[in-house]
Amino acid sequence: MKHRNNSSPQNTSSPKLLHIDSARLYRDGVGAEGITTAEMEELAPELRRIHQIVVAQSRGGENAEFASLNLHAIMTDLLASIETMAAQIRRFEDVIVIGIGGSSLGAKAVHHAMTAVRPDSSVPGLHFLENIDPYRLRDILQHHKAEKVGVICISKSGGTIETAIQFLILRDWLEKELGKDKARTHQWLVTDPASGWLRELAVREDLPSLPVPPKVGGRFSVLTAVGLLPLAVAGVDIRALLAGAADNAGRCTADDIHANPALEIAALFYLFDINKNKRVSVMMPYADPLELIVDWYRQLWAESLGKRMETRPGRPPAGTLPVRAMGAVDQHSQLQMYLESRLDKTFTFLALDSWDQDFSIPLPEENRKFFPYLAGKKMSQVLEAEFQATRQVITETGHPNMTLRLPAINEHVIGQMIDLYQRITVYTGLLYGINPLDQPAVEKGKKLAIKLLSGDRST
Ligand code: PA5
């Protein structure tokens, strides 16, 4: 079997595509802990079946069940409105983005990556308010002047408690500082097109707003106005982000693992759980700008896949625990455990092909005897050597691992990653036989918190 790696024809024909190297997930790449060709072949009919479901349920515009996998096409009509609104918001020095979970993590991750590689002082700074933390809110209010601040409040349901209370406090602050009429010109909403508190507010107060497609849930919504509006405000090229997603979608049209990387990766990670009892999925980027992309992936993976398999009684619950590790930092923290504890993990490394920012290491003569191997080296070469060494010891320990090589950190590449992981997540959910789009257990906690706030202590 020919496994996907950097030399596959798809990758060489387009140097800007993500390089997906899955070789070390297979038995001939990592040894006994890897998946065999026979296991993959046995799953082939099921993979064809779930691929057909995804194809059929991605069609039909924004009302399709898996509309989230077709946002590169669905969002085209709304792009001009998003860009116009973003241009209006850009008049502020700072923009506070209120939202939580899927209504925040995607934009925050892309913003973090893009401001790291392409800082731009001509656009507003974005400040994401997710958690309800009085210290953080005090800092925001103390360090900003109301007249220089715009607020974007994002909630698909339009009523998430953490989002609602922070927006209520910020609205109150704006109104006290600026007066009610002026305060209205500092607020924008992204929410459900028809229902919820925020939608009602938008209508009642005539606040500018953008809709989230009805079938697209929080953690799959970074490529809707949920992510695109704040990102456009911050100068991110949202068209390139969608073009990247479209290019990845174009790589994933076949029902065959050799020609569809999302299907292949989903199959492998499903088999690691079901056949190999590997319940931990570590993602380890070797580039600080990608740090929050892992938080986005963590939510996508955990909230979509961590579920009871009600359709398959007797089977353990679905899902593997997504864990964030950072290269090289976690070589000095988690690696000991990875190398000597249980073989219950899989690894995904994210590495950069080339760095457009680098430093030569100054090595005066008197220091050379301590670090002779650093002579003439650049910082990125050291990071690359550490990545390769870590991957090798992880492989030699017997941990299956794959590498996503990013040709660069830019919108097009990040768009590909977003589409790739959304697709992998949906396929994996279908393999488990669960609905990757819902989150029934999360609702229980929300309801209980509301009950407690209402003074109801009954169980
Ligand atoms: O992925 C999800 O559906 C959740 O994480 C939601 O994004 C999160 O609970 C916030 O919901 P909402 O956008 O309705 O405020």
- CATH number at 354 reads 3.40.50.10490
Residue 444 lies in a domain: no
Residue 427 lies in a domain: yes
Nearest CA to ligand 1 atom 15: 155
The range of the structural domain enclosing residue 195 comes to 68-236
Q: Range with the lowest mean pLDDT among 5-14, 181-190, 205-214, 429-438?
A: 5-14
Residue 394 lies in a domain: yes
Beta-strand pair 280-285/187-191 = unpaired
pLDDT of 7 > 80? The answer is no
Residue 451 lies in a domain: no
Beta-strand pair 19-21/321-324 = unpaired
Do residues 94 and 164 share a domain?
Answer: yes
**Residue pLDDT, tens place only, 388-429:** 999 999 999 999 999 999 999 999 999 999 999 999 999 999
Burial 326-337 (b: 16+ CB within 10 A, else e): bbbebbeebbee
Do residues 280 and 408 share a domain?
Answer: yes
Distance CA 270, CA 323 (A): 16
pLDDT of 10 > 50? The answer is no
Do residues 116 and 202 share a domain?
Answer: yes
Do residues 191 and 336 share a domain?
Answer: no
Do residues 270 and 408 share a domain?
Answer: yes
The alpha helices in 334-410, defined as continuous H runs, are 335-340, 365-368, 379-397
Pocket test for ligand 1, best of 132, 160, 215 (most atoms within 8 A of CB): 160
- Please classify residue 104 by burial: count the beta carbons closer than 10 Å to its beta carbon, then call 0-12 exposed, 13-18 middle and 19+ buried: buried
Do residues 345 and 419 share a domain?
Answer: yes
How far apart are the CA of 159 and the centre of ligand 1, in A?
A: 10
Residue 374 lies in a domain: yes
Residue percentage of the chain with pLDDT more than 70: 96
Distance CA 46, CA 242 (A): 30
Do residues 264 and 377 share a domain?
Answer: yes
**Tokens 């109301």, located at residue:** 146
**Residue pLDDT, tens place only, 100-137:** 999 999 999 999 999 999 999 999 999 999 999 999 99
Do residues 75 and 23 share a domain?
Answer: no
pLDDT of 78 > 50? The answer is yes
How far apart are the CA of 341 and the centre of ligand 1, in A?
A: 35
How far apart are the CA of 89 and the centre of ligand 1, in A?
A: 24
> Which is higher by pLDDT, 5 or 220?
220
Do residues 178 and 314 share a domain?
Answer: no
Instruction: Return the ligand 1 atom nearest residue 100 CA.
Output: 10
pLDDT of 241 > 50? The answer is yes
Instruction: Identify the CA nearest to 219 among candidates 16, 2, 447, 421.
Output: 421
Do residues 112 and 255 share a domain?
Answer: no
Which residue among 177, 201, 236 closes a domain? 236
Distance CA 116, CA 395 (A): 31
**Residue pLDDT, tens place only, 28-62:** 999 999 999 999 999 999 999 999 999 999 988 99
Please tell me the predicted confidence (pLDDT) of residue 15: 45
- Please classify residue 396 by burial: count the beta carbons closer than 10 Å to its beta carbon, then call 0-12 exposed, 13-18 middle and 19+ buried: exposed
Active-site positions? 303, 332, 446
pLDDT of 3 > 60? The answer is no
Do residues 49 and 86 share a domain?
Answer: no
Pocket test for ligand 1, best of 97, 98, 100 (most atoms within 8 A of CB): 100
Burial 308-322 (b: 16+ CB within 10 A, else e): eeeeeeeeeebbbeb
Which residue among 180, 207, 236 closes a domain? 236
The number of domains in the chain is: 2
Do residues 128 and 275 share a domain?
Answer: no
**Ligand 1, pocket residues at CB < 6 Å:** 100-103, 155-157, 160, 163, 217-219, 303, 439
How far apart are the CA of 414 and the centre of ligand 1, in A?
A: 21
Residue 60 lies in a domain: no
Which residue among 182, 214, 236 closes a domain? 236
Distance CA 279, CA 120 (A): 41
Residue 322 lies in a domain: yes
Residue 452 lies in a domain: no
Q: Which two tokens stand for residue 34?
A: 């890897």
3-state class of 215 per DSSP? coil
Please tell me the predicted confidence (pLDDT) of residue 459: 60
Any bridge partners for residue 153, and if so which? 98, 189
